[in-house]
């Protein structure tokens, strides 16, 4: 919608509806990358039914817990003239204790066939703030790797449960360490501090790429990756595409630096498309060649 202004009536020029939420976006992007994935979560009411149907139509395998309350509908307004996006996210459904327990049971069941579990997004109302910590513990017991992409208190709890990796964006990382990044080395210091909170690896994403503290053959490695500036159509969900690229590469046995290269290429490629989690593998391949990944000096590490 061009020329969005608060307090005015607008007519959209184009519109699209698709299943969303971080987990769903990651699943869509993983499918585009050709990796096997099952999306799970809570789905309720007629919106929930549409989510499940539309995902099935996209051939994204899914297994949701059906809940009584209605799944939320979030709205993103993109203004091509300013390049800005405005998001209106509903509060969403309340999940009952029984529904939450049903989800934990489902996740443990699905985990039996999984190598890696991505826990992503905010927690719905009714779900305990340490839910991701519980899920990480469950997955660890089963030998399933965990990667967490969330923010605020759920992220703090999740970090303490020692997931294999966390992937906050810049603002979420600032919230986790408790200060704003003003200097170049702040993000590099922060990934070190985040790792000290529990996660084995920490990746902080930003529009230019990412800064990460990784394990390379068991040895800590601090890296910075950058991608040339893109002609952005929509950056919404680019973090989810980044995560999918990281996971796909990790699943394929890629070494740490290669996983980061693929992640940044996927994040950047996804900005060429309107929908979240939509990726063109040929574009990812082309961008991966121009992503710069370099090790930062050890002195910058905490």
Ligand X SMILES: Nc1ncnc2c1ncn2[C@@H]1O[C@H](COP(=O)(O)OP(=O)(O)OP(=O)(O)O)[C@@H](O)[C@H]1O
Using CB under 5 A, list all residues that contact Mg ion. Answer: 169, 239
Long-range contacts of 62-65 (CB under 8 A, 24+ apart): 62/27, 62/38, 63/38, 63/39, 63/106, 63/110, 64/39, 64/40, 65/40, 65/41, 65/99, 65/102, 65/103, 65/106
User: Contact between 249 and ligand X (CB under 6 A)?
Assistant: no
Question: Residues 6 or more apart from 191 whose CB is under 8 A from it?
Answer: 173, 202, 203, 204, 211, 212, 213, 222
Decide: 29 and 277 in contact? Cβ < 8 Å. yes
Nearer residue to ligand X within complex by CB, 29 or 55: 29
Question: Residues 6 or more apart from 206 whose CB is under 8 A from it?
Answer: 169, 170, 187
Cβ at position 266, least distance to Mg ion in Å: 13
User: Contact between 240 and ligand X (CB under 6 A)?
Assistant: yes
Cβ at position 225, least distance to ligand X in Å: 8
Phi, psi of 223 (to 5 degrees): -130, 155
Whole-angstrom Cα distance, residue 105 to residue 58? 26
* HSE-up (13 A, CA, CB side) for residue 212: 29
Nearer residue to ligand X within complex by CB, 17 or 89: 89
**Interface residue with ligand X, options 1, 18, 162, 206 (CB under 6 A):** 206
Nearer residue to Mg ion within complex by CB, 48 or 267: 267
195 binds, among ligand X, Mg ion, none (CB under 5 to 8 A by kind): none
User: Contact between 246 and ligand X (CB under 6 A)?
Assistant: no
**Interface residue with ligand X, options 205, 234, 249, 262 (CB under 6 A):** 205
267 binds, among Mg ion, ligand X, none (CB under 5 to 8 A by kind): ligand X
User: Contact between 268 and ligand X (CB under 6 A)?
Assistant: yes
Bridge-partner residues for 212, per DSSP?
203, 223
**Interface residue with ligand X, options 232, 258, 272, 283 (CB under 6 A):** 232
237 binds, among ligand X, Mg ion, none (CB under 5 to 8 A by kind): ligand X
Which run of H or of E encompasses 106? helix 97-111
Which residues between 115 and 174 bind ligand X (CB under 6 A)? 169
Cβ at position 169, least distance to ligand X in Å: 3
Cβ at position 288, least distance to ligand X in Å: 11
Decide: 165 and 174 in contact? Cβ < 8 Å. no
**Interface residue with ligand X, options 64, 100, 103, 242 (CB under 6 A):** 242
The residues binding ligand X (CB under 6 A) are: 169, 205-207, 209-210, 227, 229-230, 232, 235-240, 242, 264, 267-268, 271
């Amino acid at each position: 919608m061009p020329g969005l202004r608060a307090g005015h009536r607008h007519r959209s020029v184009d519109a699209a509806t698709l299943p969303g939420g971080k987990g769903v976006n990651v699943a869509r992007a993983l499918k585009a990358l050709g990796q096997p994935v099952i999306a799970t979560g809570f789905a309720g009411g007629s919106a929930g039914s549409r989510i499940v149907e539309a995902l099935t139509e996209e051939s994204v395998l899914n297994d949701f817990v059906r809940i009584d309350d209605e799944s939320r509908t979030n709205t993103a307004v993109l203004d091509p003239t300013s390049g800005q996006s405005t998001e209106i996210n509903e509060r969403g459904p309340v999940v009952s204790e029984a529904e939450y327990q049903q989800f934990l049971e489902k996740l443990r069941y699905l985990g039996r066939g999984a190598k890696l579990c991505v826990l992503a997004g905010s927690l719905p109302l009714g779900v305990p703030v340490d839910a991701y910590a519980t899920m990480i513990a469950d997955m660890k017991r089963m030998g399933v790797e965990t990667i967490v992409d969330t923010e605020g208190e759920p992220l703090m709890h999740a970090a303490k449960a020692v997931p294999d990796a966390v992937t906050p964006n810049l603002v979420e990382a600032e919230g986790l360490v408790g200060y704003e990044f003003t200097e170049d080395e702040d993000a590099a210091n922060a990934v070190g501090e985040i790792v000290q909170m529990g996660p084995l690896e920490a990746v902080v994403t930003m529009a230019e790429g990412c800064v990460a503290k990784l394990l390379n053959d068991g040895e800590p490695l601090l890296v910075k990756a950058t991608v040339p500036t893109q002609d952005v159509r929509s950056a919404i969900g680019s973090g989810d595409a980044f995560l999918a690229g990281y996971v796909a590469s990790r699943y394929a046995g890629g070494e740490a630096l290669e996983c980061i290269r693929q992640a940044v290429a996927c994040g950047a490629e996804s900005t060429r498309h309107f929908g979240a989690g939509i990726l063109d593998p040929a574009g990812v391949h082309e961008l991966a060649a121009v992503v710069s990944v370099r090790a930062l000096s050890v002195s910058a590490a905490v």
